[in-house]
Chains A and B, each alone.
Chain A
Amino acid sequence: MMKRWQAFKRLLPLMASIALLLSACGREDLSALRPQGPVAQGSYDLMKLAISIMICVLLVVFGIATYVWIKFRRKKGQTEPPEQVEGNFKLEVIWTVIPLILVFILAVPTIQKVFAMGEDYTKDKNAVHVKVTSHQFWWEFEYPDYGVKTAQDLIIPTNKRISFQLKTADVLHSFWVPSLSGKIDTNPDGTINKWSFTAPKEGVYLGKCAELCGQSHALMEFKVKAVSPESFDRWVAAMKEPAKLPEDPQIAETFKNQCLTCHAVGDQGGPAAPNLTGIGGRETVASILINDESHPVKENLKKWISDPQKVKPGNLMPKVDLTAEQIDGIADYLANYKLNY
């Protein structure tokens, strides 16, 4: 134990400099190198330890190799062959034992963390429970304790354990929020996975599908929005309010007939497609059209509704037969459908 700690201590300065170097890498809300929660931090600590050990190994190998290549080049006039060495028992033992020790140093925290991350919180009363169902190519989030269902933006309270049960409705996907936690696959019924993480800081974190799932695998992103517990409660309350339908009766009729057959808002509509309640306040449209000043949510919605296959090839939303006015009316309604929380 003592020895391990000493080896570890010697690695500390190296680890510190690597951490400094790596933390310059990537976006805070996306990079696995800039962890924003304890689970991602756990993976990151292991990475730092592993990288430090590995850099030592690389330095030794590169050092010997460079020395050998320079020192032992064949010189002019060397006709007599060099001494033929069969081997060296001592050396060979050394380079068998040292890797074993290095592996041991890495193995101990690995096992500790595997079990820590594998902890089952699905029965935990204090946790917020979320059922994740992945679809080609969108994410469904259900909060069974609150009777609320949403899509694409996962709203979670800060500093609370979020306990996930994940499955897929079609092919395999993988649920990954790099800055909060490593990934976990979503399997079909029968092999439902459990996972959990917490987000100490408020913010919006990028999530991605990490398992090839078809044409729009690349576009199957989602957001994790960590908000204060009070704000989370307000969001749940807002989600449970009755549906707010378009004011214009013609648009409302079209929306009911054309959209709510698959989609749902509030207490109305079907479960086949992403829930649209409060879509105007989400970070993206269809997970890939980012809502910002130059691309307001209404423009994105219009772009999406007028040709979904162009935005996200292979997805299940058909090009619905709508006039330009109808598209504009529906987009306008959805863009203004925001929740206060």
Chain B
Amino acid sequence: MAHAHSVKHHKGLMDWLTTVDHKKIAILYLVAGGLFFGIGGIEAMLIRIQLWKPLNNFVSAQTFNELITMHGTTMIFLGVMPIIFALMNAVLPLQLGARDVAFPFLNALGFWTFFFGGLLLNLSWIMGGAPDAGWTAYTPLASKAFSPTHGVDFYTIGIQIAGLGTLIGGINFLATVITMRAPGMSFMRMPMFTWASFITSAIILFAFPAITVGLVLLSFDRLLGANFFEVAAGGNPILWQHIFWIFGHPEVYILILPAFGIISDVIPTFARKRLFGYSSMVFATILIAFLGFMVWAHHMFTIGMGPVANALFSISTMLIAVPTGIKIFNWLFTMWGGQIRFTTANLFASAFVPTFVMGGVTGVMLASAPADYQFHDTYFVVAHFHYVIVGGLVLGLFSGLFYWWPKMFGRLLNETLGKWTFWTFVIGFQLTFFIQHFLGLMGMQRRIFTYLPNQDFDTMNLVSTIGALLMAVGVIIFFVNIVITMSKPKGVANDPWEDGRTLEWTIPSPPPEYNFKQIPLVRGLDAYWKEKQAGNTEMTPSEPVGSIHMPSASILPFVMSVGLFIAGLGFMFSRDEFSNSFLAGIFNNYVVVIIGLLITFICMLLRSVFDDHGWHIEPEELEEEGVKA
């Protein structure tokens, strides 16, 4: 108890607002990501209800455009990415044998900027209209002249703030992997999920600055009257597309590589067999990330770039099929000769493989520019990227959540309900999206709020809507499962799946605040499995039991993000006309912006001026807790 008096421990809500513990931040990411995923899902349902029959007038054309924009933006930036970050936060330090991430304070800051950015974006629904120019926000449609509400401003400012969080998170994970691996954990002994997270973080590092620059330019165009994308003033709207997609395509790999990582951990565990071709998996991942930056213009084949560019980008895009193919076959041959147990986690992982291949092959088809002239901007593309993102990433996320849930929360999710989720979701998914390939080929362009009858679209759209409802049922069962599970007491073993291979399964579920009482010594790939095969029940420690240094909780990340949120709102309305002279005074004179930025900068100053050396957990305390456990 020596130190405990000098350190302030928060309880309840304050604990969550101030935490810098990667496990708690993971839960925050999961809750916030789940919330936004739910919102994005509701938007998807409204879209499908509008489209279930021709000339439906369930929502107006304007609302529909807002729905598709917000569905895409929310799902990608605020739904699935935070859930990826949740898993990375929960698992990556554990797999490395580390006590936390490299910069716990930054970790919290990353979460809160993401959260307030997302909140800002979604406030648009109640503050004059959501963005309506598509998640790609192509100019000139996204310019002030053609999208006069504040919708697109919420988009540019909201994603900038949220993107800051993503960038911070990415840098943090990079530093963590490089500097905080346990003794013996060389790069080529890292679990695949950690590898995937590492490479994803590297992609984030290079891709997110591009979108940030683009969003700054667009918000300057809209809010300060700049002319970056204004043709009449010498700007070029095509420039936006290049900026957007040089971020946007790597973003696809930011999404899918973590799913690859999850699958590469889940499949070996439940096949009780080591990952087939580990090193080729690593190099395939790196190659995909590298090629991912070389293909952005395949989203722009019809923009008129000319045959040379179209041919080059066709070829570079097709090449991505090669490393991806390597991965697919490595997974299949990991299962070959194994002893496969179909838990819910493994069901999702197994379904991932063929579903993702279907998304992959349509990707290669899209890569062929002359065929893409037909596919582009039709439901074929909609089907393709949902196969990749839902059939790939979301199945991967479900797999990961079922797999690591006991580690995160100390309770196993209910397997029966899990299997219900699996079947409803997967069948619903195939019903919704398989048929959309054909809708596209038969002439249905994407982003249309309605369609005329007698085009042979009606039945297929109805089927698609029914499938979407079935997917919703699957997700609802999943939420019910969470509620039921969380109402039960904790108490699962360290290694609830019994065949855990990596370090996270060597410590209690959920792990104590400091993760590892003693940092383990890693003696090979699949460190824990290796020890088990050698007849050991636990890892060999690499250090004696000693005092553990912990970072202090802090409210600063939260307050800093609130500051950015206020500044963002202020900037957005700075050119508006207000009937209320007080509001006009504070908004038009940038008072709100300045207050918001001051809050953020003062927090940064406080953080720099006052050193916080953290606190220590002493050995005797570790013993006490050990007794309790």
Query: Interface on A for B, CB 8 Å cutoff?
Result: 22, 25-27, 30-33, 40, 42-44, 46-47, 50-51, 54, 57-58, 61-62, 64-65, 68-69, 72-75, 78, 81-88, 91-92, 95-96, 98-100, 102-103, 106-107, 110-111, 113-115, 117-118, 136, 170-172, 174, 176, 178-179, 181-185, 187-191, 193-194, 206, 208-219, 288, 290, 313-314
Contact = CB atoms under 8 A, between A and B. Distances in A.
Contacts of A81: 272-273, 339, 499, 533
Contact of B441 (A32, A92, A96): A32
Tell which of B140, B340, B441 has the most Cβ of chain A within 10 Å.
Answer: B441
A25 B438 contact: yes
A182 B370 CA distance: 8
Contacts of A179: 443
Which of B271, B304, B499 has the most C-beta atoms of chain A within 10 angstroms of its own C-beta?
B304
Nearest to A30: B443
Interface string B423-459: 0000000000000001001110111111110011000
Given A68-B332, A188-B231, A74 B445 contact: no
Contact of B318 (A44, A106, A314): A106
Nearest to B234: A190
B335 A68 contact: yes
B365 A47 contact: yes
B277 A87 contact: yes
Given A61-B357, A183-B302, A218-B61, A26 B314 contact: no
A73 B340 CA distance: 4
Given A31-B443, A118-B310, A178-B443, 10 more contacts: A43-B374, A72-B340, A83-B273, A87-B277, A87-B279, A87-B330, A88-B276, A107-B315, A110-B315, A212-B141
B311 interface: yes
A99 B441 contact: no
B442 to A, nearest CB: 3
Given A110-B368, A187-B303, A84 B273 contact: yes
Nearest to A34: B442
Contacts of A83: 273, 337
A118 B273 contact: no
B231 A174 contact: no
Contact of B452 (A114, A178, A290): A290
Interface in B259-276: 271-274, 276
A111 B442 contact: no
A86 B278 CA distance: 7
Contact of B140 (A61, A65, A78, A171): A171
B339 A74 contact: yes
Instruction: Say whether chain A's binding surface is mostly helix, strand, loop, or mixed.
Output: mixed
Interface in B296-345: 302-304, 306-307, 310-311, 314-315, 318-319, 321-322, 325-326, 328-330, 332-333, 335-342
B443 A206 contact: yes
A76 B373 CA distance: 54
Nearest to B284: A96
Contacts of A103: 318-319, 321-322, 364
A288 B326 contact: no
Given A110-B368, A114-B311, A215-B65, A68 B340 contact: yes
A314 B273 CA distance: 60
11 contacts: A50-B371, A68-B332, A81-B499, A84-B274, A86-B277, A92-B277, A110-B315, A172-B140, A182-B374, A182-B376, A214-B65
B602 interface: no
A171, A172, A216: which has the most chain B beta carbons within 10 Å? A171
A176 to B, nearest CB: 7
Contacts of B350: 65, 69
A212 B342 contact: no
B377 A174 contact: yes
Contacts of B443: 26-27, 30-32, 178-179, 206, 208
A184 B373 contact: yes
A120 B368 CA distance: 20
A114 B310 contact: yes
B426 to A, nearest CB: 14
A106 B364 contact: yes
Contacts, number: 285
A78 B339 CA distance: 8
B319 A178 contact: no
A27 B456 contact: yes
A238 B581 CA distance: 62
B140 to A, nearest CB: 5
Contacts of A212: 65, 133-134, 138, 141, 446-447
Interface in B344-379: 350, 353-354, 357-358, 361-362, 364-365, 367-374, 376-378
B467 to A, nearest CB: 19
Contacts of B333: 85, 88, 91
A115 B445 CA distance: 25
Contact of A86 (B274, B311, B438): B274
Interface string B66-110: 000000000000000000000000000000000000000000000
A341 to B, nearest CB: 26
B353 A61 contact: yes
Contacts of A42: 370
Given A25-B442, A185-B303, A110 B448 contact: no
A183 B440 CA distance: 13
Contacts of A181: 373
B338 A82 contact: yes
A182 B301 CA distance: 11
Contacts of B445: 176, 208-210
B542 interface: no
Contacts of A118: 306-307, 310
A176 B378 CA distance: 11
Given A27-B443, A81-B339, A184-B302, A210 B370 contact: no
